Chains A and B, each alone.
Chain A
């Protein structure tokens, strides 16, 4: 079984400040980890992913995420937040051991609302 937790329902930061959106995961095999962003009444847009290799992953719009295997975390970060970054962010995991009907299935965290104040 695979699961994801986003411990913060909401994160508030001032524009120009660094931001972090937290995510922890649980899988039986090796994790494939993803971050998605959702704007109101829209689908999800892919931001970045970790598959293997460097623990620091860079993605779209200046976002990056750090994979920490010992802490089973994959926190999303940005050095300088913009008001336009305000949105709902989802962390997701896929277990590389998953097969059969679970192949390709993503499990999402509950989401974190990011609000960047001017």
Chain B
């Protein structure tokens, strides 16, 4: 159980276009989803916290108008990279918390999306 599906796994887009990444909790309801960006040489940076039915909370330095997050249901959150530029190329990973899990429960992660902007 506790499977998080992330789609697409890889995407290549042209500079200036927008790309949508989906994160779904397949067998549980997730009130909170987290979006991370992983840079080369591995460090994982939290971009934003997505709460179902409310606006996402962005970390300092993350442009909310560039990285649009929508959490319209308890099983789906989306990250849209708007007007993508080559510097947005990265590995994006989502994670989800079960709605009934205590704060000491581990997060469940998607398999990530490799975005390449040409």
Residues of A within 8 A of B (CB): 32, 34, 36, 41-46, 49, 51, 88, 90, 94, 96, 98, 101, 103-108, 110-111, 113
Q: Which residues of A contact B6 (CB under 8 A)?
A: 43
* Interface CB pairs A-B, < 8 A, 9: A42-B111, A43-B111, A46-B108, A88-B42, A96-B104, A101-B49, A104-B97, A106-B107, A107-B46
Q: How far is the CB of A36 from chain B (nearest CB, A)?
A: 8
- The answer to whether A41 and B43 have CB atoms under 8 Å apart is no
Partner of B42, one of A36, A42, A98, A110: A110
Q: How far is the CB of A33 from chain B (nearest CB, A)?
A: 10
Per-residue interface assignment for chain B, residues 55 to 86, with 1 indicating a CB less than 8 Å from any chain A CB and 0 otherwise: 00100000000000000000000000000000
* With A101-B49, A105-B34 as contacts: A46 and B106 at CB distance below 8 Å: yes
Q: How far is the CB of B4 from chain A (nearest CB, A)?
A: 7
Partner of B106, one of A49, A101, A108: A49
